[in-house]
Every structure is written in structure tokens, then in C-alpha cells.
Structure 1
Amino acid sequence: MTIKGKRKYSFGPALLSAAAIAALAISTQAYSAENEIEVVHQWTAAGEAAAMKVLKDAVDAQGLTWVDSPIAGAGGKNMTQALQARFAAGNPPAASQMQGQFVLEYAQAGSLGDLSPIAEKEGWEKLVAPALLDYMKVEGKIVAVPLNQRRENMLWINKKVLDQFGGKVPESWDEFLALAEKIKAGGIIPLALGGDDWQEGEIWTNILIGQGGVDFYKKAVMATDRAAIKSDTMIKVFDTFRKVLAYADPNRAGTDWAIETGKVIKGEAAMQFQGDWANGEFAAVNMKPGVDYLCAAAPGHGHTYVFLTDFFGMFRQPNPEAQRKQDILAEAAMSIEVQENLNLKGGSIPARLDVPRDRFNDCSKQAFADREQGMKDGTLIPSFVENHALPRDVRAPYMDIITQFANTPDMTPQQAVDKLIEGLDSI
């Protein structure tokens, strides 16, 4: 698989200046206090917080003191901005959660420590899906630790609401729209959707793959193929996107994804397109798949697995003691015990391929099977919305147009396509 982010970057103030890199190499950090290790992350929802506690407890058990620095909101944007400010001040944390493209950017800037000695000793490269090595391994060095291999393209349904309307899990977008109309007529919100651009982007991606297929996604998004973008298929994608949005929560502006998941949990909304982190929210309130809620791949997706991964990057340290503490964190994060228990809480499946599956629920067991199939037939594909498939400058025009279209009712599909082409051509 070719990842577009595998290229050199010229950093401006938007990410990291040369002065900040130098400050990183020479500064004495607050977290370098004896036995302390500071970790920045964005996991603040109920299931996420429970998952992170698994890793925290494992690190604390090794004699370290985990200094927790959670930064919530905006799908990780707030965390990213705070981290960049820390770099500008010459005061980065020991480690931070980050998505694939951020791993590549920081690594190519020389800001991440080399985890190769630990990775080689424990055989990490043989333990994860090859697709993850596109991000973990940069210029021959292992620079990040994967906590999971999340699945973005999921549909979550309140079973009681579905049964009330005599429906079945929709397997096509026409079936979804017909079901949504019945539910709306019955006075329940058909689709829980928050106000973040990434939530809109995930629905758009689900429609694109469901109607165009994996190969179309690879052309129209991953390869930014202009002919594919201008095609009738893309027009249909935007047209369906408009129809789907008509069934979304009318009060979605500014709402967090977990708030919307809560509406599905309570039966205030029937369905939600959300990554498998929603699985952790259902688990946190002891709801059972197949009994209280249903999970399925987005309509038309079959076993397609759109993945993203939460990595930990360890920022480069000149102090051997600081490096030792980072090594302890890295080893804990990749242990079978942490990979299993963290993902049982968080709703995803482990990055490691050798973790036992028997304790995972049916939604996760299906994810295991679909990942395995996707590794064989090329349907394990990276998310562009969640900063894996595209560099951020290439991702930006897609996200801008998706959000404009979602929030501009009179914008036509053709206008959206034209603006997307214009945006890509301006890069």
C-alpha cells in the first residue's frame, strides 16, 4: 500500500519550527522529575478513559508515575494545537497519542525517538498488520507504538428502536434511507450526528465506498484521481450525502460524538455512523451487542475495513533516564495484556495480531475476521478523515468541501465536485 504521507515535509509554524526542534533537544522538561512520565492524549469519553487507565496502571506498576494530560474536543484538533504550542515553547511531553500522518510528520522532522532496539527484541514488525508499518517505520527506524487498529466504517443501531419499526439492518443506502424515513415519521431521530467536520467526513466516506467500492476510494481519495472525482459516481455520492443528512439530529451543531452515541444508547436516536470507539461507550453502560444494540459495517461495505490507529510517539530525549522511562511505556503499550484489556474497554481490536479473541464481544470478533480478510484481498484501507491515507495538506480540500456541502443546503453536487477539484489543484 502506498501512503501519500511518505514524503519529506517543510515545516512552518503550523506544526514545528527548526527552533522548536532545537529547543526539544536541549530543554530540561518538567516531566523529567524522578519516576514521572507525562502522556498527552485525547481519550476522555467513558470507554476511552477506561481504556487509557489500563495502560496507566500497567506503567504505574513498573514503578513510574503516569502524569496524565488529557485534552478533549474537536476530534483531536485541540490536542494537536496544544501539542504544537508545547513544542513552540520547548516543552513537549514524554509521549503523545497521535494519528498516522502526525507520526510521519514528527518523525521526518527528527522529533521522535528511535524505538528500534525494543521493537527488534520483541519482534514488533511480525506482530502487527503490515499496513501499520507504513506509519510505525520511518527511514528504517521504528518510531511509534500502535495501541489498536480501529475500524471507522461502522453503523450502530439501538435494537429496541429498530424492532419498534420492524426494520432490519440496512445493507444498501436505499434501504438506509427508507428505514430512516419510517423512524422519522415515528418521532425518533433517525441519525445521531454531531457537529464536527470529521463526523460529516466519515459519513461521506461511508457513502463513497458503499456506492463506489474500495477501488473507487483508492482512486478518488487516495490517488486524488481527477477523472474519478469528476465522475457520475462522485455526483451520486454527494447527492446521497445530502439525502442522508436530512435525517440527522437537527440539534447537532457543536455536539460531541459521544453525546450523540448517548442518544442512541437512550433510544432518543436510532442509528449512528461512528468508528468502533462507540462500541466502548455501549460497553461502559453494560449494553450487549445483539441484545441492546446492533453493529454492522456501513451499507454496501461488506467486510471492507477502513482503519485508523492510535499511536504513541515518544519525543526524542537527550537524557538516558528519560529514554528509559519512554521504553517502559512503549513495552507496556505493546504487551499482550495491555493490548487485550485496553481494547476490551475501548471497543476496538488490538494492533497485535496474536492477542486472544475469546473475551471480545461479537462486534469486535467481526472486526477481527474482517481485518484478516482485508489483509488478504486489499480491503483493509486507511482512513483519510482520521489522518492516515493523505497528508494533511491534501486532506484539507476534501474536508473543507464536505463540511461546506453539509452546511450549505443550496450547494449542488456538481458545485461540490468543482470546488474539490479547484482545492486540490491549488495545492
Structure 2
Amino acid sequence: MKFENNNKSSVKPWVLATFSIAASAISFSSWAASNSVEVMHQWTSPSESAAMKVLRDAVETNGLVWQDAAVSGDGGKNMTQTLQSRFAAGNPPLASQAQAQFVLEYTEAGALADLTAQDKAGGWNKLISPELYKYMNSNGKTVAVPLNQRRENMLWINKKVLDQYGGKVPTNWDEFLVLGAKMKAGGIIPLAMGGDDWQEAEVWTNVLIGQAGVDFYKKAIIETDKAALSSPEMVKVFETYRKVLQLSDPNRAGLDWAIATGKVIRGEAAMQFQGDWANGEFAAAGLKPGVDYLCTAAPGHGHTYVFLTDFLAFFKHEDDVQKNQATLANLAMSKEVQENLNLKGGSIPARLDVPRDKFNECSKQAFADRDESIKDGSLIPSFVENTALSRDLRGPIIDVITHFANDPKMTAEQAVKKLAEGLDL
């Protein structure tokens, strides 16, 4: 991955315009005297809340007061907007959940605290995969810690429903389409899916990788290569994607991802493409993998691991609270918190040395696939979840996918043409 190219235009005008204001306005006496840790995050579903409670309990056990600043809704957009407003007003939280590209933007603006000393003391660079570490450490300065290493490209299946239709997990997209058609004819919603643009784009990415391959994803998406984006292979991706959408929930508009997962849990829908956070929802509902539900990579993906991460980014504050930030960072990176937080949340730890014995079979498969993908280069960053691409590049691709997903008259050829146009290639 040409990581350095992702940052050419990553610093947004709002960051540069507001940082000079924020930097001079953060000197609040309340912070200087505070023993609290305010953490902004978007984790509000049952499994997410349980995961965040693990970190909260660890903080409070260490004598600090946890200030919860949860902001739900719109796939994290509401939280991001709230954070930007707080930052512009010179009142950012001590730490905030953030995706990789947001960490990079705030880093380039000089807005984040320096955790390099904690990094070196803990040997974090040896505990995190290189593909992930470069997002938390820029130019030798560590500014964030990863809570997990999530996997985006997962297929979740209600086992009872699947057994009614032969019990065979689809291993390629042709098999998926045949199975989905049978389910639809039988009155079952084949594919639970929400109408958020990121949910639509995740399914599209699954089709792209499963049908065209990892190298094509790297060329077309990560490198935004015009020839790949305009190729016959890309036309075929959109054609297959249209067929997949025809198997999705007809009432998916405005549907939250966790609500869609609930439909699979209850057997109202058969399958869902969703990141491994869905694993936490199945577990929270008391279901067991292999018995009540099945988890597998998206069709055609094998052990390919499309990753994203929930980072905690730490904003600059007065000297008096830097010790609180150090405590929070060290706790978030500890084996105990990494293990227990991810046991609740359904993902796997960012640390590579966390014991795996307590995790369920879905997570153990994720561990194994991550190991293999690190070896052969198929551990690849998600562009949908603000990891692989700057938002300037991500936005036009998402727009085309959203337009195509919601306009049945738009052809695959038109979508491919708009990809190149939107990226100004």
C-alpha cells in the first residue's frame, strides 16, 4: 500500500482553520484541577456498550473519574461532527474514538498529544502489526492507541434458516446468488442490510474482492488506478452487486446495522454482510457460533482480512492532565483490557500477543486468518471505514456506490464512468 499517498490532501480546512483557535483556548482551569477522563465515542449498541464498560471499569479502578461522552447515530458521523464542533470551540475531550484517517488529520494539524514515551516503555511497536502501527505513529510520534483490529469482510448466517435450504455456506458469489434466490422464493429475506452508505459500500467491497481479487482491490481502490477503475472487471463487480442488492431487505432504508443483525438473530432474515462487531451482538443475544449462527469470510475471500480499527486519539491539554492521558493509554493497551474489551465487542485485540483461548470460534477464525493474511499480504485496510483512503478520495467512490444502490436505472457502465470522473482521473 502506498500509504504516503493517502495523506496528500488529508488535512481538512476545518482542522487548519480551527486548530489555531483551539490551541490557545484549551487552557481551562477545570482541566488543570481535574482527575477525570472524558472519552468521546460512538459505541452504544448492547455489545459495544459492554465493551466500553471494560475500559471504563479499568479507568475507575485506577482512581480516575470516567466522563462518558457517547454520541450515537449515523454510523459514527454524529460523533465525528460533535468532536469537530468541540475541537473548534477549544474544548475537545481528553480522548476520542477515531478512525485511522481522522487520526492522521488531527496529527498533521498538530492537535494530538505525544504518547511516544508510553509507546517505547511498553514496546507497542512490537505488539502491533506493521500495517496497523503506522496509523498510530506518524514521523516517530505516537498519538493514538488501537482498541482492536476489526474485520470488515464477514458473512453472518442464521444456521436454522440455512439448514432449511441445504445447509451449505456459499463459497463464491454464484453460489450466494443461487441460495439467495431460493430463500427469497421461500419467503425469507435473504440479506439483512441497512440503508447507510457505509453498509452499502461494505457489501460492494465484498463483491469486488471476492470476484476480482485482492490485487485488483489494491490497484483499483488503494492506488485509485484509472485503468483498473474503468476496467471490464469493475463493470462485472457492479453487475454482480446489483443482483446482490435485489436479495436485500426491501425495507432497508434508514435501517441501523444492529437492527439488521437482530433480524438474522431472530430468523427474519437469513444472512448479513457486516463487520465482526456483529459477533458481539450474536453473543449478547445468547447465541452460540456453530450452533445458532455461522460466521465466515465473504464469498471468495478465503483468509483475506479487510481491517479497520477503533483508535483512541488523545488531544493536547494542560500538563496537569497528561498523566491521566498516559494512564488511559496504558490501560487501553494492556493485555487485560484488550482481551476483555474484545471478548465483549466481538472483535479481536490489536495486540498480537493476547491469549486466544477465551474467544469464541468466530474470533478464533479471525485470529487465524489475520495470521495468514499478514504472511501473504492479504491484510488490507478498509477504504469504507476511513482507513485506506483520505476522505477526499473515499467520498467520490462512496457517492457512486450509493447512487448505484438506490437508482435501479443506473447501469454498471455508467457507474464505472462516474468513478473515474468523481476522482478526476
TM-based fold match above 0.5: yes
Structure 2 match to 1:11? 12
Alpha-carbon separation, structure 1, partners of 2:403 and 2:264: 26
Amino acid in the other structure paired with 1:399: I
- Shift in Å, 1:279: 0.1
Alpha-carbon separation, structure 2, partners of 1:179 and 1:94: 49
Gap regions ≥5 residues in structure 2: none
- Shift in Å, 1:27: 2.2
| SS class of match (2:219) | helix
| SS class of match (1:191) | strand
Q: TM-score scaled to structure 2, two decimals? A: 0.97
Structure 2 match to 1:397? 396
- Partners of 2:115 and 2:144 within 8 A in 1: yes
Amino acid in the other structure paired with 1:351: A
- Shift in Å, 1:31: 5.5
- Partners of 1:31 and 1:93 within 8 A in 2: no
Alpha-carbon separation, structure 1, partners of 2:376 and 2:32: 46
Structure 2 match to 1:91? 91
Alpha-carbon separation, structure 2, partners of 1:320 and 1:33: 11
1:185–1:19: structure 2 CA closer, same or farther, 3 Å change rule?
Answer: closer
- Partners of 2:9 and 2:392 within 8 A in 1: no
- Shift in Å, 1:422: 0.5
Amino acid in the other structure paired with 2:259: I
Amino acid in the other structure paired with 1:411: M
> 1:17-44 deviations in whole A, cap 9, x for unaligned?
4344442344244555521111000001
Alpha-carbon separation, structure 2, partners of 1:316 and 1:8: 23
Structure 2 match to 1:378? 377
1:200–1:130: structure 2 CA closer, same or farther, 3 Å change rule?
Answer: same
Is 1:175 aligned with 2:206?
no
Structure 2 match to 1:265? 265
Alpha-carbon separation, structure 1, partners of 2:212 and 2:31: 49
Alpha-carbon separation, structure 1, partners of 2:87 and 2:332: 24
Structure 2 match to 1:133? 133
| SS class of match (1:425) | coil
Is 1:246 aligned with 2:243?
no
- Shift in Å, 1:320: 1.7
| SS class of match (2:423) | helix
- Shift in Å, 1:73: 1.2
Amino acid in the other structure paired with 2:338: Q
> 1:85-109 deviations in whole A, cap 9, x for unaligned?
1112111111000001111000010
- Shift in Å, 1:167: 3.3
> 1:290-347 deviations in whole A, cap 9, x for unaligned?
0000000000000000000000000011x22211111111000000000000000000
Amino acid in the other structure paired with 1:5: N
Structure 2 match to 1:276? 276
- Shift in Å, 1:384: 0.1
Structure 1 match to 2:342? 343
Greater alpha carbon shift after TM alignment, 28-37 vs 164-173: 28-37
Structure 2 match to 1:412? 411
- Shift in Å, 1:2: 2.5
- Partners of 1:17 and 1:88 within 8 A in 2: no
Alpha-carbon separation, structure 2, partners of 1:153 and 1:53: 26
Gap regions ≥5 residues in structure 1: none
Structure 2 match to 1:367? 366
- Partners of 1:336 and 1:355 within 8 A in 2: yes
- Shift in Å, 1:7: 3.7
- Shift in Å, 1:8: 6.1
Amino acid in the other structure paired with 2:199: Q
Q: TM-score scaled to structure 1, two decimals? A: 0.97
- Partners of 2:11 and 2:106 within 8 A in 1: no
- Shift in Å, 1:188: 1.0
Alpha-carbon separation, structure 1, partners of 2:239 and 2:167: 24
Alpha-carbon separation, structure 2, partners of 1:330 and 1:21: 26
Structure 1 match to 2:331? 332
Aligned residues: 423
Amino acid in the other structure paired with 2:397: Y
- Partners of 1:303 and 1:370 within 8 A in 2: yes
Alpha-carbon separation, structure 1, partners of 2:144 and 2:135: 8
Alpha-carbon separation, structure 2, partners of 1:390 and 1:356: 32
Percent pairwise identity? 66
